[in-house]
Amino acid sequence: MINQASIQSTIVSKDLASNISLVSKLNKRKIKDGILYFFIYLSAAISVVLLASIIIYVLVKGYDKVSLSFLTSVTSVLKGTVGIAGNILNTVIIILITMLIATPIGVGAAIYLNEYAKPGRFVSIIEFATETLSGIPSIIFGLFGMMFFGQTLGFGYSLLTGSLTLILMVLPLITRNTQEALKTVPDSYRHGAIGLGSGKWHMIRTILIPSSLPGIITGVILAIGRIVGESAALLFTAGSAKILPNTLADLFPKVFQSGGTMTVQLYLSATSEGDFDTAFGIAVVLLVLVFLINLATKKLAARFDVTRRK
């Protein structure tokens, strides 16, 4: 009896010790999780506060500068006006030229790499090259564009030179985003289409591209956002002129003339010109534009997402 009681006592004590150890481990884990969650939420809060502080500061400094006259006129000492209409037009022209050329090339390259090219060294080299191009500082693109497009090809400081330079900058972004979008389409879609007798291109055009359209649109709009925010490369290639064409007939020749975008003018206003009021006014316009670009990205991606349609 004594031995049995001793054995039972030993078992109970071991179970108790085991339970105490388990509770201790759970408490330590909860403490560690609590600390980790604290730093996660703290990091998120700091990010939100910093972003909100920047936005509020820029809005407070520049909102009263933005007006209809500011958006529809150009700066003129003789007329006594201050405006960025010329810079807005230059920005729109550069976006149109860049995206009209870069989008089909980038999407086409992604389709070839993902659907036609066989996995191997060639594809790996191209993907490595696009990733490398994505990480090159924009000022290096600007230097190359100035020397090659501006001097070697003879385009000089012009909107065309700036656009050709930006094509090199946004091509990797569009290509990689399109590739990732195509990879999200299940292989069963491909096999099913081919099994039903569809041709390769017909399958890509009617199934793969519509299914991956949200990702493609996201890449294109992000590329537009990068164009809008670029200044270093354009200082070397497009120049800083801010005049408006007198007639519609003068609009096409303007492509071959110097022109500064909004970000270039912001930089010049805050540095060489010392006009911080205009700089903050342009900053407000750019903030609103970036917000609209992000909003359009979400709306269009949801609109063309075939997986969410009933």
Residue 73: the pLDDT is: 85
- Structure pTM? 0.81
Q: How many Å apart are CA 27 and CA 258, to the nearest integer? A: 67
- Which single residue is written with the structure tokens 């299914």? 211
Other beta carbons within 10 angstroms of residue 57's beta carbon come to: 12
CA distance 194 to 207: 11
For 184, other C-beta atoms within 10 Å of its C-beta total: 11
Contact between residue 113 and residue 123 where contact means Cβ atoms under 8 Å apart:
yes
- CA distances in angstroms from 19 to 23, 71, 117, 285, listed in the order given: 6, 72, 60, 63
Strands (E), the chain: 74-76, 81-84
CATH tag for 68-308 (out of 2.40.30.10, 2.40.10.10, 3.20.20.30, 1.10.3720.10): 1.10.3720.10
Segments of the chain with pLDDT less than 50: 1-2, 310
Residue 203 identity (one-letter amino acid): M
Per DSSP, the three-state class of 41 is helix
Neighbours of 143 (CB within 10 A): 16
> Rounded to the nearest 5°, which phi and psi values hold at 25?
-65, -40
- The predicted-structure confidence for 132-170, as pLDDT tens digits, reads as follows 888 888 889 999 999 999 999 988 889 999 999 999 999
pLDDT number for residue 23: 62
Write the pLDDT tens digit of every residue in 57-79.
999 988 888 888 888 888 877 77
Q: What is the SS3 assignment for 82?
A: strand
Q: What phi, psi does 74 have (nearest 5°)?
A: -115, 160
Instruction: State the pLDDT at residue 16.
Output: 53
**Residue 137 in tokens:** 């500082």
The DSSP letter of residue 260 is -
Q: Give the span between the Cα atoms of 209 and 292, in whole angstroms.
A: 25
Task: Supply the pLDDT for residue 56.
Answer: 92
Alpha-carbon gap, residue 98 to 51, rounded angstroms: 29
Tokens 């007198």, residue located:
246
Pick from 302, 288, 305, 151: nearest CA to 228: 288
